């Protein structure tokens, strides 16, 4: 949800869209530095969250951060910006910080995995008192980015000492573009069986619900409105009715204009899919 005009405005927008759980950026997502959050803005944010009864479940880190960077200067810059993201989430009492593991830029996969794990070990030991769960997002595998195979996420987590402070965000567009066929029943169950075997379903903190503009296995990350892409209604019907995930926040990252009316359409579509199943049971 956009924070144009200050972080607290996200809650007014979320309320208008009928959302119950949202994700925000806590700063401009394309800039390294940001002014510290002002006390009045923090208070307004927490007040609005209560007033509208909307949970701000996650903040998403800035797009410039690369915790796998082989460039020493960029890695250092990324790590300190990541720490700032943790602090901002803590200040706003946001439980999860979602981030893409990183891009190896030509390094062997094992090295990239190690670098991300080292970055996380450093961040966690630098913030022993933080309440923020560092939440690795599954990626489409575009370019040299890692995190498109469940095994890569598991390998990162295995190399982090305080792995109980980590969780996973499953992005439907990304896993589909990475080659997991969640668009039909067999592929859907096979995907989550694999996830369970490799990482463990109990590590899923949240979902990003996005349809995919690109085909299965394309490894191209382009979000589409729910039901209008290559995943289609069936994949989302399976997910929103899966009893294993009923209490897991599901968050839209679909394209939208400034008035956010598209959120209402996409939420309506998902609610209808959940309703279909319920009326089938009632019938
Ligand atoms: Zn996402």
Ligand 1 centre to CA of 88 (Å) is 20
Distance (Å) from CA 280 to ligand 1 centroid? 31
DSSP string, 166-208: EEEEEEHHHHHHTT--TTSHHHHHHHHHHHHHHT-GGGEEEEE
Whether residue 224 is predicted with pLDDT greater than 60 in this model: the reply is yes
Find all residues with CB under 8 Å of 78, minimum gap 6, and list them.
Answer: 64, 65, 66, 67, 69, 102, 119
Residue 283 has pLDDT above 70, yes or no: no
Task: Please tell me which residue, 275 or 84, carries the higher pLDDT value.
Answer: 84
Mean pLDDT of the 181-198 span: 98
Predicted local distance difference test score (pLDDT) of residue 281: 47
277 has pLDDT over 70: no
Taking the centre of ligand 1 as the mean of its atom positions, its distance from the CA of residue 174, in whole angstroms, is 7
Nearest to 262 by CA among 11, 7, 16: 16
pLDDT at 258: 86
* Residue 151 pLDDT greater than 80, yes or no: yes
Query: 283 CA to middle of ligand 1, Å?
Result: 36
Query: What is the residue-averaged pLDDT of the chain?
Result: 95
pTM across the whole model: 0.96
Q: Taking the domains of the chain in order of start, what are their residue ranges?
A: 9-282
Range with lowest mean pLDDT among 14-28, 227-241, 264-278? 264-278
The three-point CA angle 140-145-148 to 5° equals: 40
Distance 208 CA to ligand 1 centre (A): 5
CA of 279 to the centre of ligand 1 (A): 30
Task: Report CA(171)–ligand 1 centroid distance (Å).
Answer: 5
Distance 137 CA to ligand 1 centre (A): 7
What pLDDT, in 10s, does the model give residues 93-125? 999 999 999 999 999 999 999 999 999 999 999
9-282: which CATH topology? TIM Barrel (3.20.20)
pLDDT of residue 275: 81
Residue 154 is predicted with a pLDDT of 98
> What is the whole-number distance in angstroms between the Cα of residue 173 and the centre of ligand 1?
8
Percent of the chain with pLDDT over 90: 94
Q: How far is the CA of 185 from the centre of ligand 1 (A)?
A: 22
């Amino acid at each position: 949800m956009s924070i144009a005009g200050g972080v607290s405005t996200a809650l007014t927008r979320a309320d208008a869209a009928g959302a119950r759980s949202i994700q925000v950026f806590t700063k401009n997502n394309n800039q390294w530095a940001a002014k510290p959050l002002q006390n009045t803005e923090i208070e307004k944010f927490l007040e609005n969250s209560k007033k509208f009864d909307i949970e701000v479940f996650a903040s998403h880190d800035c797009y410039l951060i690369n915790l796998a960077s082989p460039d020493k200067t960029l890695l250092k810059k990324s790590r300190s910006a990541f720490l700032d993201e943790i602090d901002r989430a803590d200040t706003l009492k946001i439980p999860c910080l979602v981030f893409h593991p990183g891009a190896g830029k030509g390094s062997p996969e094992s090295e990239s995995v190690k670098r991300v794990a080292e970055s996380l070990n450093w961040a966690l030991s630098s913030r022993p008192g933080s309440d923020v769960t560092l939440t690795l997002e599954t990626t489409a595998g575009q370019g040299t980015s890692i995190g498109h195979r469940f095994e890569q996420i598991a390998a990162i987590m295995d190399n982090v000492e305080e792995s109980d402070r980590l969780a996973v965000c499953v992005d439907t567009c990304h896993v589909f573009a990475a080659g997991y066929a969640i668009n039909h029943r067999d592929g859907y169950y096979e995907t989550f069986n694999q996830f369970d075997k490799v990482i463990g379903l109990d590590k899923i903190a949240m979902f990003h619900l996005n349809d995919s503009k690109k085909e299965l296995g394309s490894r191209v990350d382009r979000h589409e409105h729910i039901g209008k892409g290559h995943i289609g209604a069936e994949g989302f019907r399976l997910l929103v009715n899966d009893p294993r995930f009923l209490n897991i926040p599901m968050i839209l990252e679909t394209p939208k204009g400034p008035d956010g009316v598209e959120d209402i359409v996409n939420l309506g579509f998902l609610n209808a899919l959940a309703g279909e199943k319920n009326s089938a049971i009632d019938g």
